Amino acid sequence: MYQIITSNRNKAKNITFLVKIPKLDINLITYGDFMNLLNIIVETIISIFTHQNTLLYLFAYLFASIPFGYILARALAGVDVRKEGSGNIGATNVLRVLKEKAPHIAKKIALTTLILDATKGAIVMLVARYYFGADDNILWTIAVFAVMGHCFSPFLLFEGGKGVATGFGVLLVMLPLSSLIAIVAWFIVAKVLKISSISSLIGLVALLISSYIIHPDIAVIHTHAPIWIISFIIFYKHVPNILRLVSKEETKIA
């Protein structure tokens, strides 16, 4: 035992405090206790990573990470789109690059890329909803993971696309009417200005505005937070385009 005695003197009286500190017993935690604790930690980690929701999030991220634009351009035209044009793997850059490298198949590959990028977003949502019975809380989380997977693909060292097509795919499942409004806005601006980045960003704004008008209170989750997160990711991936727009260097799509 260790004893610490302190005194506090004042005009009236002396006060003495006695504090007893127990001696540390290094044998307090036995080997068996340590192994039991370690076993609990391991079981907890395993339960987290084998939980259905965690597996769904991982599936959404990895499936949406498949870089269809890169794969198709490389396999069918022998072109690495990451090293050409804007370096993006999305349909716009695929079209721009292949119009120079393989003009006879450029539009087909670009359209296929667009469809596959949107479809992979919708697929993870539909599988989670109708096969696994996931509720909207889980579905909105899956939507965010899917867009993150496309934009930060582990198959491309966490580079990727801009998230527009995949974002449209996941939001078409969750907010079909707002998504259709966004695609109409995107199409009109793309036809008039022929600048993909502007049409994508305006489509994004149209989706945000319409989501508040049509769904002022998002069912189940009661927040627009997942939509803002997806929008922020897409906006962040468009920062280079915005800088080129400001400097008037952004190219049009012929």
> For residue 199, what is the enclosing H or E element?
helix 196-214
Whether the per-residue pLDDT at 47 is higher than 90: the answer is no
pLDDT in tens, 63-90: 999 999 999 999 999 999 999 988 999 9
Report yes or no on 203 lying in a domain.
Answer: yes
CB burial of residue 108 (10 Å; 0-12, 13-18, 19+): middle
Look at residue 2 in the predicted model and tell me its pLDDT. Answer: 42
- Going by pLDDT thresholds of 50, 70 and 90, the confidence category of residue 157 is very high
Domain count, the chain: 1
Percent of the chain with pLDDT strictly greater than 90: 76
DSSP run (H or E) holding 228: helix 225-237
What is the domain range of residue 176?
2-246
Q: Is residue 253 part of a domain?
A: no
Q: Which of 31-35, 126-130, 197-201, 231-235 has the lowest mean pLDDT?
A: 31-35
Q: Kindly state the average pLDDT of the residues 18-36.
A: 59
Q: Does the residue 92 lie in any domain? A: yes
Is residue 252 domain-resident? Answer: no
Residue 17 dihedral angles phi and psi, to the nearest 5°: -110, 135
Q: Residue 246's Cα: distance from chain center in Å?
A: 27
CA 69 from chain centre, in angstroms, equals 18
254 domain-assigned: no
**Averaged confidence pLDDT in the chain:** 88
The verdict on residue 140 lying in a domain is: yes
pTM of the model: 0.81
